[in-house]
Amino acid sequence: MSKKAMSKLSEKKIIELFQNKLGNASFVPEDVESFKIGKKRLIVKVDTLVESTDLPPGMKLEDAARKSIVSCVSDFAAKGVKPIFGIISLTIPKRFSRSNIESLAKGFQKAAKEFRLKILGGDTNEGKELVINFSLFGVTEKIVNRKGAKTNHVVITSGPFGYTGAGLSILLKNKKCSKKFGAKAKRAVFKPNCRLMFGLKNKNYFSSSMDSSDGLSTTLNEMSSQSKKRFVITRMPSENDVFDFASSSRLNADNLILNGGEEYEIVATVNVSNLPKIKKYAKKHRMKLYEIGYVTKGKGVFYKKNGRLIRIKDKGWQHLQKS
């Protein structure tokens, strides 16, 4: 395929093409893959981290190794599934030293301990740049689907958005900010949060949920589409320092919050009657829960601002999309 032809295919289109060729014409995207073994379901997730596209300047190899695992664990968290085993496939460039390899191993070791999973082994190969493929396995009876939101349900997020987008603006575009905010934003990029225990402990209260690493706008639109409901957003899930940074840097705050990606938060819809239980958990564990909107009849995602409904389009992260 020519480069010109390739540029016309988005990540979503490529997935659709493969699914059709593989005989899965009715394929519905989910955060994880699953299949039944007896009465249980085996849950599988695989993700790829590529040095040239996924490692911003200043990111340590130890943090890159952790991030490759976080990207899979976050999907398990959104589905309410406990991770059990992992397998790593590594492509390593010749320029890497023993110290580089040890840093990667240390990152995998720490992440496995953090998320209480066992890494069984994997594969190593040589290439021009670092590539980490991580596969994660778990077992459950059911998952929380992306669809399932009902009219009058509340839309929540497990944490704030915008810090990663701000951090990438600082790292890649040299945007200026205070030392305090810079450290906070860079940490969001290098050491992202993963809400595993929040997902495991509250999965029975979610009517639908999804990992947000491709961007909040993508997540909301996907959940709205699969649930065949309209999502009305009444509050942006962020903090004053993000808005202040956006203003001083001449950036659009809503764009940072909605389209930055890489946050690894859980976005969920919840019956109002279950909201106090989730709030109680969040308070006990010192998490700031964000109630950002509600579900109603219709379709699409809209931001209610000053009495007007403004359409929120899917502008989150997609590999291979035209810039």
Among candidate residues 224, 316, 314, the one with its CA nearest the CA of residue 263 = 316
Domain end among 117, 140, 163: 140
Locate 318 and state its tokens: 């997609």
Q: Over the stretch 36-49, which tens digit does the pLDDT of each residue have? A: 888 889 999 999 99
| 10 in a structural domain | no
CA distance 263 to 174: 20
| 18 in a structural domain | no
The whole-number average pLDDT for the span 246-255 is 96
The average confidence (pLDDT) of the chain is: 93
| 224 & 96 share domain | no
Which DSSP string corresponds to 264-311? --EEEEE-GGGHHHHHHHHHHTT---EEEEEEESSSSEEEEETTEEEE
The whole-number average pLDDT for the span 298-304 is 97
Residue 4 — very low, low, confident or very high, per pLDDT cuts 50/70/90?
Answer: very low
Give the Cβ contact number of residue 125 at 10 Å: 9
What confidence score (pLDDT) does residue 296 get? 98
Is-contact 222 318, C-beta < 8 A?
no
Domain of 82, in residue numbers? 31-140
Q: Does residue 199 register a pLDDT over 50?
A: yes
Q: Does residue 19 register a pLDDT over 80?
A: no
Is-contact 209 196, C-beta < 8 A?
no
| 66 in a structural domain | yes
- DSSP character at residue 153: P
| 183 & 301 share domain | yes
Q: For the chain, what percent of residues have pLDDT higher than 70?
A: 94
- DSSP character at residue 320: T
| 124 & 41 share domain | yes
Residue 323 — very low, low, confident or very high, per pLDDT cuts 50/70/90?
Answer: very low
- Structural domain total, the chain: 2
Q: Does residue 320 register a pLDDT over 70?
A: no
| 180 & 95 share domain | no
| 21 in a structural domain | no
Residue 249 — very low, low, confident or very high, per pLDDT cuts 50/70/90?
Answer: very high
Q: Over the stretch 134-183, which tens digit does the pLDDT of each residue have? A: 999 999 999 999 999 999 999 999 999 999 999 999 999 999 999 999 99
Q: Does residue 91 register a pLDDT over 60?
A: yes
The whole-number average pLDDT for the span 269-282 is 97
| 98 & 218 share domain | no
CA distance 129 to 53: 11
Which DSSP string corresponds to 110-178? HHHHHTT-EEEEEEEEE-SS-EEEEEEEEEES----S----TTPEEEESS--SHHHHHHHHHHH-----
Locate 118 and state its tokens: 């066992």
pTM: 0.92
CATH of the domain at 57: 3.30.1330.10
CA distance 30 to 211: 10
What confidence score (pLDDT) does residue 38 get? 86
| 288 & 176 share domain | yes
Q: Does residue 252 register a pLDDT over 50?
A: yes
Q: Would you say the C-alpha torsion 59, 64, 66, 67 has a positive or negative sign? A: positive
What confidence score (pLDDT) does residue 190 get? 97
The whole-number average pLDDT for the span 112-118 is 98
| 173 in a structural domain | yes
CATH of the domain at 180: 3.90.650.10
Residue 176 CB contacts under 8 Å (≥ 6 apart), including other chains: 248, 249
Q: Tokens 């989730």 — which residue?
A: 278
Q: Number of C-alpha atoms within 13 angstroms, CB side, residue 139?
A: 7
| 120 & 177 share domain | no
| 301 & 197 share domain | yes
- DSSP character at residue 57: T
| 105 in a structural domain | yes
| 147 in a structural domain | no
Residue 317 — very low, low, confident or very high, per pLDDT cuts 50/70/90?
Answer: low
| 65 in a structural domain | yes
| 274 & 158 share domain | yes
The separation between CA 72 and the C-alpha centre of its own chain, rounded to angstroms, equals 9
What confidence score (pLDDT) does residue 13 get? 78
| 171 & 251 share domain | yes
| 306 & 162 share domain | yes
139, amino acid identity: V
| 307 & 158 share domain | yes
Domain end among 113, 140, 167: 140
What confidence score (pLDDT) does residue 2 get? 41
What confidence score (pLDDT) does residue 321 get? 53
Residue 309 — very low, low, confident or very high, per pLDDT cuts 50/70/90?
Answer: very high
CA distance 259 to 170: 16
Helix, strand or coil, per DSSP, at residue 53: helix
Locate 47 and state its tokens: 């993700």
Domain end among 109, 140, 171: 140
